[in-house]
Amino acid sequence: MMKLSGKVALVTGGNSGIGLAVARRFAEEGARVFITGRREAQLAEAVALIGGQVEAIQGDITRTDDLTRLFRTLGTRAGRLDILVNASGVSEPASLEETTEEHIDRAFNLNVRAMVLTVQHAVRLMGEGGSIVLVGSVAGAIANPGYGSYSASKAAVRSYARTWNSELAPRGIRVNTLSPGPTDTPMFDQASDEVRQTLTARIPAKRLGNPDEVAAAALFLASDESSYISGTELVIDGGMIA
């Protein structure tokens, strides 16, 4: 039996990387999946790749009007939401000396502010049994030279998840954080060979993760198999922070 039969899921950032892998796995497990992202062409490619019960709603979740339209459309088409995976994110390197106001704003606007407002909208469509999976990062728990703003934004994701776990438990909605280590996605393409080699050397498994491995963990947290798990952080990092 498929693990998400009859479920309605929304995956932000579902047009590439981890979000795309999650959306594809959810569709394979029987969910009706909605994906959102800024790039229309990339969304169309994702829909063609995933097939099945997947629909794309174009929009930029950092924009209030787009976010309102996203959930209005979702409500009209599906009437409810069972699963939210917030996989949208940005990672830009900058040392302390290089950090600018604009750099901080870009990191926190998408990784934190947009996430908070997305969850705020999502819970209005959720009932008992709802599952929220926030994609964080091991960067939020370890020193990550050159990525201070990104790391701090991902630490905020974990903190929000713990608070929302307590706030939403009375409504039967679970909230968990999924924290990958270095994963071979388009976001990681901007890293230099030196950075990739340095990070790989720190991983006991001696390789980067792949999006499908993260998607498998997201499936567990989204499904009823994790019905007694909430407020936790599931780390998928090949043993890096251990």
Q: With helix as H, strand as E and coil as C, how does 188-220 read?
A: HHHCCHHHHHHHHHCCCCCCCECHHHHHHHHHH
pTM of the model: 0.94
Q: What's residue 69's pLDDT?
A: 97
Contacts of 237 (CB under 8 A, 6+ apart): 138, 179, 180, 181, 182, 203, 209
| Residue-wise pLDDT tens digits, 207-218 | 999 999 999 999
Six-digit token string for 124:
């209005």
For the stretch 138-147, pLDDT in tens is 989 888 888 9
Paired sense of beta strands 32-37 and 8-12, if any: parallel
For 162, the enclosing helix (H) or strand (E) is helix 148-168
Amino acid (1-letter code) at residue 60: D
Sheet of 233-236: strand order equals: 54-58, 32-37, 8-12, 83-86, 131-135, 174-180, 233-236
Residue keyed to tokens 């969304």: 43
Question: pLDDT tens digits, residue range 114-127?
Answer: 999 999 999 999 99
Has residue 238 got a pLDDT over 80? yes
pLDDT band at 88, cuts 50/70/90? very high
pLDDT for the residue numbered 50: 94
Q: How far apart are CA 129 and CA 18, in angstroms?
A: 24
Q: For all residues of the chain together, what is the average pLDDT?
A: 94
Cα of 197 vs its chain's centroid, Å: 25
Close Cβ partners of 219 (under 8 Å, ≥ 6 residues apart): 3, 4, 22, 25, 26, 29
Extract the tokens encoding 114.
């947009």
User: Residue 191 above 80 pLDDT?
Assistant: no
- Read off the pLDDT band of 80 (50, 70, 90): very high
What gap in Å lies between CA 226 and CA 234, rounded to an integer? Answer: 11
Q: 187, 191, 190, 164: which is closest to 175 by C-alpha?
A: 164
Helix (H) or strand (E) holding 35: strand 32-37
**In Å, how far are 68, 115, 168, 183, 237 from 120, measured between CA atoms?**
11, 9, 11, 28, 29
Question: Alpha carbon 219 to chain centroid distance?
Answer: 12
In 3-state terms the chain splits into helix, strand, coil percentages (rounded to 5) of 50, 15, 35
Give the catalytic positions in this structure: 150
Burial 217-235 (b: 16+ CB within 10 A, else e): bbbbbbbeebeeebbbbbb
